[in-house]
Amino acid sequence: MSGKCRISDCAAPGVPCHLGCEDYKTCENFIAENSEKKIKKEKNNENKKSNLSWTGEAFTPDEIHQVSSRSTPILIGIVGKADAGKTTFLAMVYTLLLNGKKLKNYSFAGTKTILGWDELHNRLRLKKGEIPFPAPTPVSSNRLYHFALRNEDQHLKDVLFSDASGEVFSNWATNRDDENAESARWIYANSNAFMLFIDCEMLAEQKNFAKREIMLIARQLTHDLKGRLVIAVWSKSDKKGEVLPAMKDALKTELSNLFPRYFEVEISNFLEPGPDELVHKNNLIAIDLLLENIELDTNVDLTLTEISSDDLLINYKGR
Ligand SMILES: Nc1nc2c(ncn2[C@@H]2O[C@H](COP(=O)(O)OP(=O)(O)O)[C@@H](O)[C@H]2O)c(=O)[nH]1
Ligand SMILES: [Mg+2]
């Protein structure tokens, strides 16, 4: 049977289904040829937000019921000032998983925000010197990107990553009631753990000014932390050689005094030739660290045990 997928980025039936359906004809998004007129009609409506319950785009906070109705998702709050490399990190993580890199205890089992991830991925070409980075995250936006992960026992865990603009964290750091810090407040209230981005390039260039800004955000993170984990992510670590060693040490000491369990990881999105520790390993190690500790913290198995037969994503069993 010929036809096509209603998701414009999916080239099925020429390639395997995005959602992992073995038989693409049974995929809810596949439209047989005799329905092509319908596709044309729908194309005219592409700019409108779809009425379907699932569009594949990044979630907004009021859309997370699409996964929270089946399990309690884990939310990882990505925090840091503008330009710290937060969105690029997300793009890189998705790209690494697409390229077959693995998390320690989980395998990638699908995503409900595939168009959102694909948009990030398409803007990130893995070649040093010609990386068109993601467009700056708009101030008002609070996007949430989803992964379903499967552990060794075949249980699913839904994980969401927040991606808000850095400006809202800078506003929130100086005044947590700032009217332009709504996304930061929401992320702070709802996350299970945080990644605090420390921009090595900014530290190298702006020295104490940059350190002060980072510490402002870090201190605000402590005000109602309730034992949630914060890991320090030294982003753009390809520039760490340019950061004054004394400044790096001082910042480390201050952060480890602030957060009782201090974890840190150095990451980069710039590939050196050959296997690159900062890019290939550490971006995923950061996520391993978070997932391991969130499980220990909550002491609750957040995984989904029951497999519902009419949910294509849940039924997907990996490659
Ligand atoms: N040197 C270096 N620059 C990076 C890296 N990742 C991102 N950038 C730069 O940082 C800028 C901001 O990245 P972005 O991900 O949009 O930051 P965000 O505002 O925190 O989401 C990009 O335009 C890149 O120029 C990296 O690993 N190394
Ligand atoms: Mg961004």
Q: How far is the CA of 280 from the centre of ligand 1 (A)?
A: 17
Tell me what the mean pLDDT of segment 229-255 comes to. 96
Residue 123, pLDDT score: 76
Ligand 1 pocket member 270 (CB < 6 A): yes
| Beta carbons of 224 and 109 less than 8 angstroms apart | no
Per residue in 268-282, pLDDT (tens digit) is 987 766 557 777 789
Nearest CA to ligand 1 atom 23: 133
Q: How far is the CA of 30 from the centre of ligand 1 (A)?
A: 37
* Atom number in ligand 1 closest to CA 165: 19
Residue 208, pLDDT score: 96
Per residue in 250-302, pLDDT (tens digit) is 999 999 999 988 999 999 987 766 557 777 789 999 999 999 998 777 654 54
Residue 257, pLDDT score: 96
Residue 307, pLDDT score: 45
Residue 7, pLDDT score: 66
Residue 141, pLDDT score: 84
Residues counted in the chain: 319
Predicted confidence (pLDDT) at residue 40 exceeds the cutoff of 70? no
Query: If one looks up domain 61-298 in CATH, what number appears?
Result: 3.40.50.300
Task: Report long-range pairs for 304-307 (Cβ below 8 Å, ≥24 apart).
Answer: 304/70, 304/71, 304/155, 304/156, 304/157, 304/158, 305/155
Lowest-confidence region among 42-51, 105-114, 122-131: 42-51
Radius of gyration in angstroms for the set of CA atoms belonging to the chain, rounded to a whole number: 20
- Chain region(s) in the chain for CATH 3.40.50.300: 61-298
pTM, rounded to two decimals: 0.78
Q: Which of 79, 87, 88 to mutate to test the pocket of ligand 1 (most atoms within 8 A of CB)?
A: 88
* Atom number in ligand 1 closest to CA 197: 20
Residue 115, pLDDT score: 95
Ligand 1 pocket member 83 (CB < 6 A): yes
Ligand 1 pocket member 269 (CB < 6 A): yes
Q: Which ligand is closest in space to the CA of residue 239?
A: 1
3-state SS assignment for residue 163: strand
Predicted confidence (pLDDT) at residue 15 exceeds the cutoff of 90? no
Per residue in 86-113, pLDDT (tens digit) is 999 999 999 899 888 999 999 999 999 9
Residue 60, pLDDT score: 93
